[in-house]
Amino acid sequence: MKKTGKLRTFANNAYAVKTVWSISKSRVIHTALDTIVGYVEWIFMSIFFTRYVIHVIETEVPFEKILVFIGLCFVGFSLIAMYNSYKSSVVVPFTDNKIYRVLYKKLYAKARNVELRCFEDADFYNKYTMALDNSAQKMTKSVDFFFQVLFGVGAAAVAFSSMFMIDPFSVLFVISPIIGNFVFGGLMNKIWGGRYVDNVKNNRKAEYVNRVMHLAEFAKEIRYSNIHDLMMNRYKEAIKGNQEVADKYAGKAIVYSWAQNVTTFALVFEGIMIYAVYRTIVSKTMGLAELAIMFTAMSTSSWILIGIFNNLMEAMKNGEFLEYFRTFMEYEEKIPENQEGIMPETKVHSIEFKEVSFAYKEEEKVIENLSFKIEGDKVCAFVGHNGAGKSTIIKLLFRLYDPTEGEILVNGINIKEYNLKAYRRLFSAAFQDYKVMAMSIKDNVLMGETFENPKEVAEHALTCAGVWEKVKSLPNGMDTIMTKEFDKEGVVLSGGEQQKVVVARAFAKKASVKVFDEPSSALDPIAEYALYKGIMDESKGHITIFISHRLSSVKDADMVFMLENGKVIEQGSHKELMEMSGKYCEMFTKQAQNYLADESYGKEAAV
């Protein structure tokens, strides 16, 4: 677990109380009231009620007065019981839901705001996972701990004063639970915290296996391969890892737990009993009435004291966990999604990379000193072998990452100076590593964008992508839910059909630059030809960029950039590059025997 000082740990609990107060003041107020009422009831019953009973016996109070007193107590306790029922049945469920909803909304908003690099960093992702882990419950626990400690001190003071009035030395017995809770409880807290953090990676592995085993998208692989056995081995590794963690802390946990129980419970209760009996029977310096009152007062004060320190220890442990939530929420994004700046023109006239270098890891540059410029409404293609940096260029252009060196200019202005959300709206894209959502086909195409005539826009986009006829044939048309995860009437489209739906996203969005990243990787040659024809037909009036490793698809592009090791080694039209007889020509020639027949078919289809 991340090391935090005690002050920071308690500050995290204060941060939680302040956060809950900002979300639900009624939850904080009811928690305070419930805690006060609970301690008053406890102190009254264990000390004052006992004292009254003894007083009644000794002074022979009239029975009528006793009945009145008992009746008032009954009414008071009944009202308390009604309030407790209201709090547990109404206040807690309602406020829990509100706190959970608001907190996770904040967490998800923050997660959306942090840069993509964070989610590709295992350590950061582990912290994000821990930030999500029962955050709402930890927040409300902090409120409970705060008032339990605050009002517990007052209740303990009342109980101690009752003991002190009978025997000042009896108060010394509170030293034992202080040692038990503060010393050994603190050591146990460290063990629980260390075990939690050590188990995070193992739990993530186990949860991954759980997702794989129950999600439909993995069902085929599990059934026609031996991946099930590999997944089970991964699961066993995770369980074994958790067992090793348990063994690592077991010895110390046993010793500290034993010491805590002895000093917290055995010494204090057995000690006060022996002391009180000695004074009553041996030294005869205490009467039975005083014995009863002192013993109940000691029992009550001990339990209150134990509760205070337990809550302090739990607050410390809770504060350690809340550190992940707090540091995640306070993380300063390198590329914040809400970054303000210059509002860009709606029309992109030029895109320029100037001496751009980038590395996902410091020692491994994916792009190095890359320079190129796109001007006017052109169709441009980036080609090259896998790992040449093609997709990385798009990530940099979209500001999912920032260059480590150099600058990217759009309309002659460094893209870092633009309002980020407004800048991103200049682009529409169909990504290679796409995801389809468990929503309607229409929603998967429009992706939450607002249009005056959404159905017409979706239909046009699906037509351009070459999948409208398939969608139209479905019983619910474009309102059909993709995947069967939440709807038995949903549809599971083929890989090529899913890719066409994703490509339709780029067609649907009104943007000055449309990007297609390997848009035909799952398509057959005939569908590929039709798709690229659709892209070319829709390329008028804006910049079109597509990435492809199939060079047959780039012949009609206005400009082709041949990439190798993160650099543009050749650029020009298909014809110009073929005449250069360089790397592009070599790569095209090697691929020719595989796609020349497809080109012939394409020509026949065009005729």
Name the least confident of 180-184, 406-410, 506-510, 530-534.
180-184
Choose which CATH entry (3.40.50.2000, 1.20.120.450, 3.40.50.1980, 1.20.1560.10) describes domain 6-330: 1.20.1560.10
**Average pLDDT of 359-383?**
85
Task: Return the pLDDT at 606.
Answer: 36
Name the E strands within 389-466. Answer: 405-410, 413-414, 427-430
**pLDDT top residue among 298 and 354:** 354
Q: Give percent of the chain above pLDDT 70.
A: 92
Tens-digit pLDDT profile for residues 233-242: 888 888 898 8
Distance (Å, whole) CA 11 – CA 106: 20
CATH superfamily of 434-510: P-loop containing nucleotide triphosphate hydrolases (3.40.50.300)
Task: Return the pLDDT at 217.
Answer: 64
Q: How many other C-beta atoms lie within 10 A of the C-beta of residue 579?
A: 11
Distance (Å, whole) CA 584 – CA 552: 12
**pLDDT top residue among 445 and 590:** 445
* pLDDT band, residue 408 (cuts 50/70/90): very high
* pLDDT band, residue 594 (cuts 50/70/90): low
Closest by CA to 159, choosing from 174, 177, 175, is 174
What average pLDDT does the chain have? 82
Sign of the torsion angle spanned by Cα atoms 44, 47, 49, 51: negative
| Helix, strand or coil, per DSSP, at residue 163 | helix
Which CATH architecture best describes the domain 341-426+511-607? 3-Layer(aba) Sandwich (3.40)
* pLDDT band, residue 95 (cuts 50/70/90): very high
Task: Return the pLDDT at 28.
Answer: 95
* pLDDT band, residue 160 (cuts 50/70/90): confident
**Average pLDDT of 440-450?**
88
Task: Return the pLDDT at 607.
Answer: 30
Taking phi over 0 as left and psi of -120 to 50 as alpha, with beta for the rest, 195 belongs to alpha
Task: Return the pLDDT at 335.
Answer: 83
Residue 126 CA, chain-centre distance (Å), reads 9
Distance (Å, whole) CA 558 – CA 444: 30
Name the E strands within 396-532. Answer: 405-410, 413-414, 427-430, 513-517
**Interior CA angle at 444 toward 348 and 339, to 5°?**
45
Task: Return the pLDDT at 598.
Answer: 47
Task: Return the pLDDT at 224.
Answer: 65
Q: Is the pLDDT score of 276 beyond 80?
A: no
- Cβ atoms of 200 and 241 closer than 8 Å: no
Task: Return the pLDDT at 315.
Answer: 84
Tens-digit pLDDT profile for residues 246-260: 888 888 888 888 887
Sign of the torsion angle spanned by Cα atoms 61, 63, 66, 72: negative
Label the pairing between strands 513-517 and 427-430.
Answer: parallel
Written as one string, the DSSP assignment of 75-127 is: HHHHHHHHHHHHIIIIIHHHHHHHHHHHHHHHHHHHHHHS-HHHHT-HHHHHH
**pLDDT top residue among 305 and 401:** 401
**pLDDT top residue among 210 and 601:** 210
Name the least confident of 168-177, 388-397, 425-434, 552-561.
168-177
Distance (Å, whole) CA 308 – CA 177: 10
**pLDDT top residue among 65 and 415:** 415
For the record, the structure tokens of 322 come out as 């809340």
* pLDDT band, residue 5 (cuts 50/70/90): low
Task: Return the pLDDT at 511.
Answer: 87
| Helix, strand or coil, per DSSP, at residue 405 | strand
Tens-digit pLDDT profile for residues 188-227: 877 877 887 788 778 888 888 887 777 666 776 777 677 7
Q: Give percent of the chain above pLDDT 90.
A: 19
**pLDDT top residue among 147 and 296:** 147
**Average pLDDT of 410-429?**
92
Domain locations along the chain: 6-330, 341-426+511-607, 434-510
**Average pLDDT of 152-171?**
78
Task: Return the pLDDT at 419.
Answer: 93
Name the least confident of 147-156, 314-323, 458-467, 595-604.
595-604
Task: Return the pLDDT at 19.
Answer: 92
Task: Return the pLDDT at 330.
Answer: 83
Residue 391 CA, chain-centre distance (Å), reads 26
Name the least confident of 142-156, 271-285, 416-430, 451-465.
271-285
Top-ranked range on mean pLDDT: pick from 20-24, 60-64, 375-379: 20-24
* pLDDT band, residue 184 (cuts 50/70/90): confident
Tens-digit pLDDT profile for residues 119-154: 777 777 777 777 777 788 888 999 999 999 899 888
* pLDDT band, residue 173 (cuts 50/70/90): confident
* pLDDT band, residue 507 (cuts 50/70/90): confident
Sheet holding 413-414, edge to edge: 364-375, 350-361, 405-410, 413-414
Task: Return the pLDDT at 466.
Answer: 86
Task: Give yes or no on whether 341-426+511-607 and 434-510 have one common fold.
Answer: yes
The burial class, CB within 10 Å (0-12 / 13-18 / 19+), for 476 is middle
Task: Return the pLDDT at 201.
Answer: 78
Tens-digit pLDDT profile for residues 542-588: 899 988 877 777 888 889 999 888 888 989 988 888 889 888 888 88
Task: Return the pLDDT at 20.
Answer: 93
Tens-digit pLDDT profile for residues 357-367: 998 876 678 88
DSSP secondary-structure letter at 418?
A: B
Task: Return the pLDDT at 1.
Answer: 42
Which helix (H) or strand (E) segment is 34 a member of?
helix 25-43
Q: Is the pLDDT score of 24 beyond 90?
A: yes
Distance (Å, whole) CA 225 – CA 400: 36
Q: Is the pLDDT score of 604 beyond 60?
A: no
Q: Is the pLDDT score of 599 beyond 60?
A: no
Name the least confident of 225-229, 243-247, 601-605.
601-605
Task: Return the pLDDT at 111.
Answer: 81
Contacts of 58 by beta carbon, 8 Å cutoff, 6+ apart: 289
Sheet holding 513-517, edge to edge: 427-430, 513-517, 543-547, 379-383, 559-564, 567-572
- Cβ atoms of 293 and 54 closer than 8 Å: yes
